[in-house]
Amino acid sequence: MENLSEQARGGWRKLPSWLLTQTANHAHRLVTDGFSAIDARGYHYRVLATLDEFGPASQAMLGRRSGIHVSEMVATINELAERELVERAPDPADRRRNVISLTTAGGRQLRRLEKQLAERQDELLAPLSADERKRFAELLSKLLEHHDRGGA
């Protein structure tokens, strides 16, 4: 039997911050491995999903909507354009900027990425029931919203 001092030393293993970090590490590895299996990255998914949700956009707007920094956005758009998953065309309203659009091939790739994500979510959350998964996502959303608003 563990004595009290041994139990106290392991207390950090029960801290929510440590548990979130360790779980986030597992989630990141699972998603990265899933995307890698179909030669993709997380930024690819975010750009394709954002275009699917909002439609064509300038690179700057796409960056704001997807939360991808402009320095990463250019490289990501270049990768996706090389694979013909997005199309880059001059903006008719302002020829100095480009409008990025989702191609048919990009839509198919997005569906593959969504399938990978769903499988990885199931793997990550395997020990939780459907109700627990829903509640877990609600609690994480509540925490994130609080801190995104600048809460302490």
Q: What pLDDT digit, counting tens, does each position of 118-142 carry?
A: 999 999 999 999 999 999 999 999 9
Asked whether the beta carbons of 109 and 82 are under 8 A apart, the reply is no
- The owner of tokens 């994130």 is 144
- The amino acid at 106: G
For the residues 70-86, what does the mean pLDDT come to? 95
3-class state of residue 127 by DSSP: coil
What per-residue confidence (pLDDT) applies to 112?
Answer: 96
Residue 150 is inside which H or E element, if any?
none
Check pLDDT > 80 for residue 6: no
Query: DSSP state, 95?
Result: E
Question: φ and ψ at 103, to 5 degrees?
Answer: -90, 170
What per-residue confidence (pLDDT) applies to 8?
Answer: 53
For the residues 34-58, what does the mean pLDDT come to? 96
Indicate the average pLDDT of the chain.
91
* CB-based contacts of 98, cutoff 8 Å, min separation 6: 58, 59, 88, 89, 90, 91
What per-residue confidence (pLDDT) applies to 4?
Answer: 47
Check pLDDT > 50 for residue 114: yes
